[in-house]
Amino acid sequence: MERAELTTEQVLKRDIPWETYMTTKLISGTGLQLLRRYDNRAESVRAQLLDDDGPAYVQVFVSILRDIFKEETVEYVLALIDEMLTANPKRARLFHDKSLAKEDTYEPFLMCLLVNFEYFYSCTLNFLSYSESSEVKLTIHNLSTFRLLLKGNWFIKEKSCKILALTVSARPKTQNGVVANGVASNSKTKLTTIDAVLRGLVEWLCTQLKKPSHPSRGIPTAINCLAALLKEPVVRSSFVQADGVKLLIPLICPASTQQSIQLLYETCLCVWLLSYYEPAIEYLATFRALPRLVDVVRSSTKEKVVRVVVLTFRNLLSKGTCGAQMVDLGLPQIIQSLKAQAWSDEDLLEALNQLEDGLKDNIKKLSSFDKYKQEVLLGHLDWSPMHKDPLFWRDNITCFEENDFQILRVLITIVDSSNDPRPLAVACFDISQFIQHHPAGRVIVNDLKAKERVMKLMNHESAEVTRNALLCIQRLFLGAKYASFLQEWS
């Protein structure tokens, strides 16, 4: 069987010659006794042993991974740990027990994970240069053996990644100079710093997102671990620096199968965690994350997916241009639709209400005449909400009279000189809105010689331009009410 397709259950059916390892002094007599009590026992028996002497078992497992390089044995011990943590994730705290203060509980898993042997080799030499303990000194022969082990074993990499993510997340808070697995931060015997572990993990996870080692499990494994790790500030920073945000965005898309829904949920969970980190927000706003999130929340019926996306929107609403993008993407209408559905999650209902209020405030800001004036003067006309908001035109129509109808003149200039279909269409539409809402609109527009310039666009290659030029001419010739009637039936 290919090792990429191995399961924990299959690996645990093996018989491992623990006595042989004790004979060669790769495990101690105490370690052998612990393994005999634990190995091939019922789950209830193992659970009791872990409750009674959990840190001792962790120490045995870690020492085996550090000192033994036989592939089947490494897989077996990783499977034992995976089974232990799957049954009860809180057991990850055992790796940080005070009795393990002098054990480097991260290093063996990080070594199993690293693909780049040269990087691993140089790091190990650096570690050894700070160590005075003969127990941790690996020979060049052992490093060479381990190089073979690292090559292409997906089962080892997947389990190591999962275990590292769980144990790192379960570590106690830093207090009084104590870090990670209990070793003082100024201790020379500490081989692997928490920052080194997290950076190593991020490097491997980003590699999986770019070029998965396993065709179907590489990306889900990476996303699952990221969802646990992105709570860490150093992980967020490293992930953004590695351009990881760009790698997440293509995974934000509507899902149908249970497996794809879980991947989508964990991807959106990652985005939500990143929405608390300012440098990541710039990427989310720039690389079309919001349109994808809107598509997801519009089509998803899974409450947990909707909840995490809505919470992400709430975080991003006040950031840069995110609020304006959400309005342009039609999110206010989607939120109204979501509010009409029967959700059981009170946090989701509260977030929907807050998001709705925030979007209303954004619409008010976006509909101010100063904002509109800036858009016109810069020539950056687009279908922002104010253009089609009747309240904007009703409340601000007299503002168009300022500076001898300066804004109207600029709109006519855009009609006459722009080569971009979008500004042309919007300018024609806005002139038609001026005609409709200003008491003397038709007369003023005719006096400014706009009719001839708009009529030139009646045969434009863009249907959008043609449609809005026609509306403008209709309102010039037929009057606002009749032209609007024709538009409704066209």
Calculate the average pLDDT of the chain: 85
Lowest model confidence (mean pLDDT) among 59-68, 187-196, 249-258, 354-363:
187-196
Give helix 194-210 / helix 154-169 axis angle, nearest 10°. Answer: 130
Half-sphere exposure of 22 (CA within 13 A, CB side): 14
Q: Is 316 exposed, middle or buried (0-12, 13-18, 19+ CB in 10 A)?
A: buried
pLDDT of residue 184: 37
CA separation for the pair 278, 83 (Å, rounded) = 38
Take residue 52 and report the two structure tokens written for it.
């009674």
Residue 6: which pLDDT band, with cuts at 50, 70 and 90?
Answer: confident
Q: Does 455 score more than 70 pLDDT? A: yes
pLDDT of residue 488: 46
CA separation for the pair 272, 311 (Å, rounded) = 7
- pLDDT over 90 percentage in the chain: 64
CA separation for the pair 127, 145 (Å, rounded) = 19
pLDDT of residue 451: 93
pLDDT digits (tens, 9 = 90+) for 126-175: 544 544 444 333 333 344 334 433 446 899 999 999 999 999 999 886 64
Mean pLDDT comparison of 5-9, 92-96, 281-285, highest-scoring range: 92-96
pLDDT of residue 152: 60
All residues at 6 or more sequence positions from 217 whose CB lies less than 8 Å from its CB, including other chains: 4, 154, 158
Q: Does 391 score more than 80 pLDDT? A: yes
Higher pLDDT, 11 or 176: 11
pLDDT (mean) for 445-466: 94
pLDDT digits (tens, 9 = 90+) for 19-72: 999 999 999 999 999 999 999 999 999 999 999 999 999 999 999 999 998 889
pLDDT digits (tens, 9 = 90+) for 412-429: 999 999 999 999 999 999
417 three-state secondary structure: helix
SS in 3 state form for 312-330?
HHHHHCCCCCHHHHHHHCC
pLDDT of residue 180: 42
Take residue 100 and report the two structure tokens written for it.
């393990």
pLDDT of residue 142: 41
Provide DSSP, 262-287.
Answer: HHHHHHHHHHHHHTTSHHHHHHHHHT
pLDDT digits (tens, 9 = 90+) for 167-215: 999 988 664 333 444 343 444 444 568 888 898 899 999 999 999 989 9
Pick the closest to residue 392 from 378, 380, 375 (CA basis): 375
